[in-house]
A and B are shown apart, each in its own frame.
Chain A
Amino acid sequence: MLKPIRRLVAALSLAALLGSLAFAQVLVVAQGTDAVTLDPHDTTDSPSATVTSHLYETLFELTPEGAIEPRLATDYAFSEDGLTLTLTIRDGVTFHDGTPLTAEIVKGSLDRFLDPENAWTFRFLLDAVEEVAVTGDMQVELRLANAFAPLLAHLTHSSTAIVLPAAAERYGEEFAANPVGTGPFKFVAWQRNDAIELERFDGYWGEKPGVEGVRFLTVPENATRMAMVESGQAHVAVRVPPQDITRIDALPDVTVHNVSSVRTIFMFMNFALEPIDDVRVRKAINHAIDREALAEFVLGGAVRVSDAPIAPGIFGYTPVGTYEYDPELARQLLAEAGYEGGFATTLYTPSGRYLQDIQTVEAMQEMLAQVGITATIETLEWSAYLEQVNAVPGESVVPVGLLGWGTVTGDADYGLYPLFHTDQQRPVGSNRGAYSNERVDELLDAARTNTDPEERLAMYEEAMRLIWDDAAWLFLHSETQLVAVRDDVQGLVIHPTERVLAHTASLQ
């Protein structure tokens, strides 16, 4: 007699438990690639940065509109000579383990980031900082070797986030998988290549998130990712393939958001190889490409054709020109350079790393064939590809290679200096085509140390014009982010730095 009742009770409580799970307000975000690390200092890719941005905070924050706002710092002041930055640290901030934030911790975190022994890839962001000094309970001073204009912008970079040095010490190597930050979400679990789970941090100093947690799923297949957002298994799916935009957007409860991005897509040209070293050849290649057609038909209108080496929305951006699609002019330039009959070359591209990467290169191959350039395509898996393009000049066999660069600090220094300065040729920087122009070097150096925004703008404009006229790259487009979001999600921020942020999100 009792048995059925007990069973009923058990069934009901199970149902109640399942019900509460189903209604738990967890935002599910489907990303294309898993995070590489959750140690913000070691982060170099946007999928990792997306997750660390929920767990950690930076001293300053770059708003989606491009303004720099205080976050863990409440106030700042530069000294007269611009060599000292005094920061006031926010009161009442605690880490996920309960440790309160202090000036000591900020110094410890910055020292960890700057420690040459750690050799973080993005250490260069702050390499103007010579010393970090604690000057009060809640005050630190950054002492610089030289005036460094983009300093505040660089302090918004997710790689400079404030970590708890004690936790970093305690976990050692394991810190990458055991994050302890001050962000609005705290870490729960990470199944590699599957899911990362975060839950709301109730001790957060600021406005608490509207969702109880965030789950980041790794779904590399485009079609699967789209099916998940269609069926409601995910609330958000990044990187909608262009051919699916119309179909997904037409669904009654899903909207495709088209948000600008600071990522520029280009093909670098190797100045150490013939015939690419001839400016007429580089210009011919630039004139041979019908970017408008690529943008519309291959990329589904999800890009903006480049008119400068950096994208709009970045400090320092000025449109500096266009390379009109003109196959006739391209042929003429090739003839002037002594290649009437064209020449053979190889286009290197990763496959699946950027929006429609291989499709874009394939379309370009045919456009180049129209002006007599016979190009073969070499596609490599991402890490093998990086190995090839990262070879030092002279050893690199890559004449033309597709890459993207996200200027995530929102400042032209980050978008130009590592890519075009002579000192940044491989093996140290990202100037993979071995581009070198003395005047450009001078301008980029001067603009780094000048603190007058007007003068910096003028310098960047001149530098970009020179780079443009040298046809240093095959300029292509800046990506926009196509993110499919279910309509029951409110307040989600799709940041131009390619991060989907759930800080203010809620579910209806």
Chain B
Amino acid sequence: MTDRGEVKERPAAPAAEPHAQDAPGARPADDARRRGRRPGGRRPTGRWRRRLARNPLAILGIGIIALFLLVVAFAPFIAPYRAETQNLRTTYVPPGAGVSFRGPEGQPGLWVSPVTRSPVGGVSVDASQAYPVRLFQRGPEYTWLFGLIRSDRHLFGVDGPVRFHLLGTDEQGRDLFSRIVYGAWISLFIGLISVGIGVGVGAPIGAVSAFFGGWVDMVVQRVIDTMLAFPGILLAIVLVATFGTGLTNLMVAVGIAAVPIYARIVRGSVLTIKNQEYVEAAGALGRRRMSTLFRHVVPNALAPIIVQSSLQMAIAILFAAGLGFLGLGARPPQPEWGLMLARGREYLAVAPHVATFPGMAIILVVLGFNLLGDALRDALDPRK
């Protein structure tokens, strides 16, 4: 049982700087002991940030996540078209078709000519026309910030009656770039909700289980054991298959699959913290146990939760894509990346880009969260 919590119990250090201001009696002895072991370790909070900033992989991870969040935040502006707009006459056009770097009279810039494609006839480019791609071009109107802002300016677009497909189009002639940009929101949302459910349900269960111990711990941990016995993705598949497909059920299922992991991690942390002197002091001063748990113990067990959450974001996005791929998640025409990948697979022989770009988007975001999670774990590791 404890071997499973092994990795997660490592960052239990914040006990050195307890958030328990009203337990001063416990401090001198504890502090002195710790100071002896880690010279200069008075403020580890500052140190982990510095450690993180020195890690190039962490910077890369943070960069990817920042880009991802930026794309989510400004999706309607970044995407030149709506995610659902079809054009059956331009199905699975490869990226770059009809695009040239010189205008009709030799002007520099990016120029786009009309392209049509039929499943039988293939791609044909009408080179007699060409229109320039411009930044901050007008395009389809959109609303932003829950309808507060209405605009038709896009990051880029074509000044003319053709469409520019940066990453080509899919099997319904929809702009792949726009779909991936809009799909980022779905992935982030799935990640946040799933992690939220995992933390919100799993952490209290684990904390209560460890803090009260005895038969409560026994019962809760056996239930957790049962849940951990199923691989997470399998648990999610079972839940979605039972409660029906769709994005909401998918998020709940992936969240539930994360619950036992959080419960275990938090239990491990709480087990080490609950015997600290400041916790005993709080008890001695007459605080109720529940209040002690949430005022003094849980805040000190946050580090492993933060690390796990970053990794869990990656897992949730991957699970969601996997379930979408199996047809258990998002419904068409939602631009969910896993679903796009699954549909693109059908066209792998004729239009590999339809599957490749959503796949790359998944890889990139999952990589970003994994890098950040790993770096956080290293930075928060008290033994370093």
Alpha-carbon distance A244/B345, docked complex (angstroms): 13
Chain A, residues 194-228, CB within 8 Å of chain B (1/0): the string is 00000000000000000000000000001100100
- Smallest CB separation, B47 vs chain A (Å): 52
Question: Are B350 and A366 in contact, with the CB atoms below 8 A?
Answer: no
Alpha-carbon distance A226/B86, docked complex (angstroms): 28
Residues of chain B with a CB closer than 8 A to A351's CB:
327
A443 an interface residue at 8 Å Cβ cutoff?
no
Question: Are A366 and B86 in contact, with the CB atoms below 8 A?
Answer: yes
- Smallest CB separation, B140 vs chain A (Å): 14
Alpha-carbon distance A222/B92, docked complex (angstroms): 18
In this complex, what residue of A is CB-closest to B342? A351
Instruction: Given A297-B88, A377-B333, A379-B331, check contact A247 B172 (CB 8 Å).
Output: no
In this complex, what residue of A is CB-closest to B117? A297
Question: Are B332 and A358 in contact, with the CB atoms below 8 A?
Answer: yes
Question: Are A362 and B119 in contact, with the CB atoms below 8 A?
Answer: no
Question: Are A362 and B172 in contact, with the CB atoms below 8 A?
Answer: yes
A359 an interface residue at 8 Å Cβ cutoff?
yes
List residues 295-321 of chain A with CB under 8 A from any CB of chain B: 296-298, 300-301
Chain A, residues 374-406, CB within 8 Å of chain B (1/0): the string is 001111010000000000000000000000000
Instruction: Given A223-B346, A247-B350, A293-B88, check contact A359 B172 (CB 8 Å).
Output: yes
Question: Are B172 and A366 in contact, with the CB atoms below 8 A?
Answer: yes
Instruction: Given A243-B92, A366-B172, check contact A300 B119 (CB 8 Å).
Output: yes
In this complex, what residue of A is CB-closest to B351? A243
A242 an interface residue at 8 Å Cβ cutoff?
yes
- What class of interface size applies to chain A in its complex with B? 20 to 34
A365 an interface residue at 8 Å Cβ cutoff?
yes
Question: Are B122 and A365 in contact, with the CB atoms below 8 A?
Answer: no
List residues 344-372 of chain B with CB under 8 A from any CB of chain A: 345-351
Question: Are A297 and B118 in contact, with the CB atoms below 8 A?
Answer: yes
B54 an interface residue at 8 Å Cβ cutoff?
no
A246 an interface residue at 8 Å Cβ cutoff?
yes
A245 an interface residue at 8 Å Cβ cutoff?
yes
Residue from B88, B89, B331 having most chain A Cβ neighbours under 10 A:
B88
In this complex, what residue of A is CB-closest to B90? A297
Instruction: Given A293-B88, A297-B89, check contact A363 B119 (CB 8 Å).
Output: no
Report which of B85, B88, B348, B349 forms a contact with A298, defined as CB distance below 8 A: B88
B interface residues, how many (CB within 8 angstroms): 25
Question: Are A246 and B346 in contact, with the CB atoms below 8 A?
Answer: no
Residues of chain A with a CB closer than 8 A to B120's CB:
245-246, 296, 300-301
Question: Are B88 and A363 in contact, with the CB atoms below 8 A?
Answer: yes
A241 an interface residue at 8 Å Cβ cutoff?
yes
Residues of chain A with a CB closer than 8 A to B92's CB:
243
Residues of chain A with a CB closer than 8 A to B333's CB:
362, 365-366, 377
Task: Give the tally of cross-chain contacts (CB within 8 A).
Answer: 73
Question: Are A297 and B119 in contact, with the CB atoms below 8 A?
Answer: yes
B249 an interface residue at 8 Å Cβ cutoff?
no
The SS class assigned to the B binding surface is loop
Alpha-carbon distance A146/B219, docked complex (angstroms): 72
B9 an interface residue at 8 Å Cβ cutoff?
no
Instruction: Given A223-B349, A243-B347, A243-B351, check contact A301 B331 (CB 8 Å).
Output: no
B175 an interface residue at 8 Å Cβ cutoff?
no
- Smallest CB separation, B335 vs chain A (Å): 12
Alpha-carbon distance A297/B84, docked complex (angstroms): 17
Question: Are B119 and A376 in contact, with the CB atoms below 8 A?
Answer: no
Question: Are A244 and B84 in contact, with the CB atoms below 8 A?
Answer: no
Question: Are B349 and A247 in contact, with the CB atoms below 8 A?
Answer: yes
Question: Are B350 and A377 in contact, with the CB atoms below 8 A?
Answer: no
Question: Are B332 and A223 in contact, with the CB atoms below 8 A?
Answer: no
Alpha-carbon distance A369/B345, docked complex (angstroms): 27
The SS class assigned to the A binding surface is helix
Chain A, residues 268-291, CB within 8 Å of chain B (1/0): the string is 000000000000000000000010
Question: Are B349 and A226 in contact, with the CB atoms below 8 A?
Answer: yes
Question: Are B118 and A296 in contact, with the CB atoms below 8 A?
Answer: yes
Question: Are B349 and A359 in contact, with the CB atoms below 8 A?
Answer: no
Question: Are A246 and B122 in contact, with the CB atoms below 8 A?
Answer: yes
B336 an interface residue at 8 Å Cβ cutoff?
no
Question: Are B84 and A366 in contact, with the CB atoms below 8 A?
Answer: yes
Residues of chain B with a CB closer than 8 A to A293's CB:
88-89
In this complex, what residue of A is CB-closest to B348? A223
Question: Are A243 and B350 in contact, with the CB atoms below 8 A?
Answer: yes
Residues of chain B with a CB closer than 8 A to A300's CB:
118-120
Question: Are B171 and A359 in contact, with the CB atoms below 8 A?
Answer: yes
Residues of chain B with a CB closer than 8 A to A358's CB:
332
Question: Are B119 and A242 in contact, with the CB atoms below 8 A?
Answer: yes
B91 an interface residue at 8 Å Cβ cutoff?
yes
List residues 231-263 of chain A with CB under 8 A from any CB of chain B: 241-247
Alpha-carbon distance A379/B351, docked complex (angstroms): 24
- Smallest CB separation, A377 vs chain B (Å): 5
Question: Are A362 and B91 in contact, with the CB atoms below 8 A?
Answer: no
- Smallest CB separation, B354 vs chain A (Å): 10
- Smallest CB separation, B120 vs chain A (Å): 6
Question: Are B171 and A301 in contact, with the CB atoms below 8 A?
Answer: no
Residues of chain A with a CB closer than 8 A to B118's CB:
296-297, 300
Question: Are A377 and B349 in contact, with the CB atoms below 8 A?
Answer: no
Question: Are B331 and A243 in contact, with the CB atoms below 8 A?
Answer: no
- Smallest CB separation, A379 vs chain B (Å): 7
Alpha-carbon distance A247/B351, docked complex (angstroms): 12
Residues of chain B with a CB closer than 8 A to A246's CB:
119-120, 122
Alpha-carbon distance A365/B84, docked complex (angstroms): 10
Alpha-carbon distance A311/B124, docked complex (angstroms): 33
Chain B, residues 118-152, CB within 8 Å of chain A (1/0): the string is 11101000000000000000000000000000000
Instruction: Given A297-B89, A351-B327, check contact A245 B171 (CB 8 Å).
Output: no
Residues of chain B with a CB closer than 8 A to A241's CB:
346
Alpha-carbon distance A341/B345, docked complex (angstroms): 37
- Smallest CB separation, B250 vs chain A (Å): 14
Alpha-carbon distance A226/B119, docked complex (angstroms): 16
Alpha-carbon distance A379/B331, docked complex (angstroms): 8
In this complex, what residue of B is CB-closest to A246? B120
Question: Are A245 and B119 in contact, with the CB atoms below 8 A?
Answer: yes
Question: Are A377 and B89 in contact, with the CB atoms below 8 A?
Answer: no
- Smallest CB separation, B94 vs chain A (Å): 13
Report which of B91, B327, B349 forms a contact with A297, defined as CB distance below 8 A: B91
Chain A, residues 328-346, CB within 8 Å of chain B (1/0): the string is 0000000000000000000
Report which of A226, A242, A379 forms a contact with B332, defined as CB distance below 8 A: A379
- Smallest CB separation, B243 vs chain A (Å): 14
Question: Are B86 and A363 in contact, with the CB atoms below 8 A?
Answer: yes
- Smallest CB separation, B63 vs chain A (Å): 35
Alpha-carbon distance A293/B172, docked complex (angstroms): 11
Residues of chain B with a CB closer than 8 A to A301's CB:
119-120
Alpha-carbon distance A369/B84, docked complex (angstroms): 10
Chain A, residues 21-59, CB within 8 Å of chain B (1/0): the string is 000000000000000000000000000000000000000
Question: Are B349 and A244 in contact, with the CB atoms below 8 A?
Answer: yes
Residues of chain B with a CB closer than 8 A to A226's CB:
349
Alpha-carbon distance A293/B327, docked complex (angstroms): 26
- Smallest CB separation, A349 vs chain B (Å): 9
List residues 166-202 of chain B with CB under 8 A from any CB of chain A: 171-173
- Smallest CB separation, B88 vs chain A (Å): 4
- Smallest CB separation, B244 vs chain A (Å): 10
- Smallest CB separation, A437 vs chain B (Å): 34
Residues of chain B with a CB closer than 8 A to A362's CB:
86, 172, 332-333
- Smallest CB separation, B185 vs chain A (Å): 19
In this complex, what residue of B is CB-closest to A294? B88
Instruction: Given A366-B172, A377-B332, A378-B331, check contact A243 B119 (CB 8 Å).
Output: yes
21 A-B contacts (beta carbon < 8 Å): A223-B348, A243-B347, A244-B349, A247-B349, A247-B350, A293-B89, A294-B88, A296-B119, A297-B118, A298-B91, A298-B172, A300-B119, A301-B119, A351-B327, A366-B86, A366-B333, A377-B331, A377-B332, A377-B333, A378-B331, A379-B331
Give the top 6 A-B pairs by smallest Cβ distance, nearest first: A300-B119, A297-B88, A366-B86, A242-B119, A243-B350, A293-B88
